[in-house]
Chain A
Amino acid sequence: MQLAMSLNSFHQITEKQFIHSNLDVIKIKKNTVLFSENNKLDYIFFLSNGELIIKINKHKLWRVNDKEFIGITSYFTDETSYTYTVEASKNSTIVKIEVDDFKEAINNSIELSNFIMDSLCKRIKLTLQD
């Protein structure tokens, strides 16, 4: 519940605040794979700082360089594995969230749900424009 509370307004939190929070913050170097297509979906990630590339079948799909959740498309479509590969294209700071905590946080925060819906809408728009 504490994690859910801290996630409540986390999208407004700075990288420094993330590092000093009780959240699981990881740093990955450029060219490191965060997870691969077909890996078990145990975590949702949130990019706090840096840049990630999303790939499906080696096809580069998106570049993420703003505060955004990673893994939610697979999660909300009821997949048990990730449906894409995520690689850091720059050194990145990422928050790692267990799926159960993520679910609890959403159920407890309409603001978080709205933030996710807005992110998904923006991503759909960008994908359709390509």
Chain B
Amino acid sequence: MTKIPACSECNIEDSIFCTLTPEQTEFISENKGSNFYKKGQAVFYEGNQSHGLFCIFKGKVKLSKLGENGKEQVIRFAKTGNILGYRSLFSNEPYQATATVLEDSYICHLSKEKYTSLMRDNPKLSWKTMQLLAKDLKSAEQHLINIAQKTVKERIAEALLLLQSTFGYTEDGESLSVTLTRSEIADIAGTTTETTIRTLAILGKENAIKLEGKRIIIPDLEALIKIAGLYD
């Protein structure tokens, strides 16, 4: 089992905690808790009371919520270095989503009181937190627009691009480094599993992707970006 190091030894780039002073980093190390989660295990559930913030030391996490029809809606993914549970922390509401581990993961926990005291002492941390929230809001808005304006094919292409930009490729430089079921991909794109299976097959025929069991290969990223209707 991996030993979780002190926060000062955590070399995660772009972490929200990169703005902290050595003393503040030491403060987190002394006050955090750490846990190992098996694949499929929940870190927290939608509706549970929030007590703090989670930071992924190593792993991959899916955040999802149940829609009115009982169907799961994937809100976002988180990877090594990302934080979870911050929205409920600032809105003083229960968790708005369930966090489920996609692969065996090591996750640290910091209480609400400790995090807010750090924000009081470090305006850069508040700033980073506001940036995270704004980014989440932008993604939620984009998802809403996509559902209203984009075709299922465009949405599924965009879901694959989201997975690629979040988790990247495996060592072969082409295969998505996260493995999801067709049903989970459907939950990201806001469609049914059957439609997702059909659409992935169409994308395969157009050589935008290759399917090998659960593994998805993206040989032509540009083609997929074009299909998704993203031109940046």
In the complex where A57-B145, A116-B130, A117-B90 touch, is A123 in contact with B137 (Cβ < 8 A)? yes
Which residues from B are CB-within-8-Å of A84? 141
Which residues from A are CB-within-8-Å of B120? 110
Whether A106 and B145, one on each chain, are in contact in the complex, defined by CB atoms closer than 8 angstroms, is: no
Whether A124 and B133, one on each chain, are in contact in the complex, defined by CB atoms closer than 8 angstroms, is: yes
Q: Which of A111-130 contact B (CB under 8 A)?
A: 113-114, 116-118, 120-125, 127-128, 130
Q: Which of A46-103 contact B (CB under 8 A)?
A: 56-57, 59, 61, 72-73, 75-78, 83-84
Which residues from A are CB-within-8-Å of B75? 128
Q: Taking the complex as formed, is A38 at the interface, i.e. its CB lies under 8 A from any CB of chain B?
A: no
Q: Which of B114-168 contact A (CB under 8 A)?
A: 119-120, 123, 126-127, 129-131, 133-138, 140-141, 144-145, 148-149
Which residues from A are CB-within-8-Å of B127? 106-107, 113
CA distance A127 to B142 in the complex (A): 10
Which residues from B are CB-within-8-Å of A77? 131, 134-135, 138
Whether A121 and B131, one on each chain, are in contact in the complex, defined by CB atoms closer than 8 angstroms, is: no
CA distance A26 to B156 in the complex (A): 44
Shortest CB-to-CB span from B47 to chain A, Å, is: 13
Whether A124 and B137, one on each chain, are in contact in the complex, defined by CB atoms closer than 8 angstroms, is: yes
CA distance A64 to B80 in the complex (A): 36
Whether A124 and B140, one on each chain, are in contact in the complex, defined by CB atoms closer than 8 angstroms, is: yes
Q: Taking the complex as formed, is B87 at the interface, i.e. its CB lies under 8 A from any CB of chain A?
A: yes
In the complex where A56-B141, A56-B145, A128-B140 touch, is A120 in contact with B126 (Cβ < 8 A)? no
Whether B90 and A106, one on each chain, are in contact in the complex, defined by CB atoms closer than 8 angstroms, is: no
Shortest CB-to-CB span from B46 to chain A, Å, is: 11
Q: Taking the complex as formed, is B96 at the interface, i.e. its CB lies under 8 A from any CB of chain A?
A: yes
CA distance A106 to B73 in the complex (A): 34
Q: Taking the complex as formed, is B91 at the interface, i.e. its CB lies under 8 A from any CB of chain A?
A: yes
CA distance A116 to B119 in the complex (A): 14
Shortest CB-to-CB span from A70 to chain B, Å, is: 13
Whether B133 and A117, one on each chain, are in contact in the complex, defined by CB atoms closer than 8 angstroms, is: yes
14 A-B interface contacts by CB (under 8 A) = A59-B145, A61-B144, A76-B135, A106-B126, A110-B119, A113-B127, A117-B130, A120-B136, A121-B88, A121-B93, A124-B136, A124-B140, A128-B96, A130-B144
- Extra 16 A-B pairs, beta carbons < 8 Å, given A83-B138, A113-B126, A121-B87: A57-B149, A59-B145, A72-B130, A76-B133, A106-B126, A110-B119, A110-B123, A113-B130, A117-B90, A117-B129, A118-B91, A121-B91, A121-B93, A124-B137, A125-B87, A127-B137
Of all A-B residue pairs in the complex, the 5 with the closest CB atoms, nearest first, are A76-B134, A121-B91, A120-B133, A127-B140, A117-B90
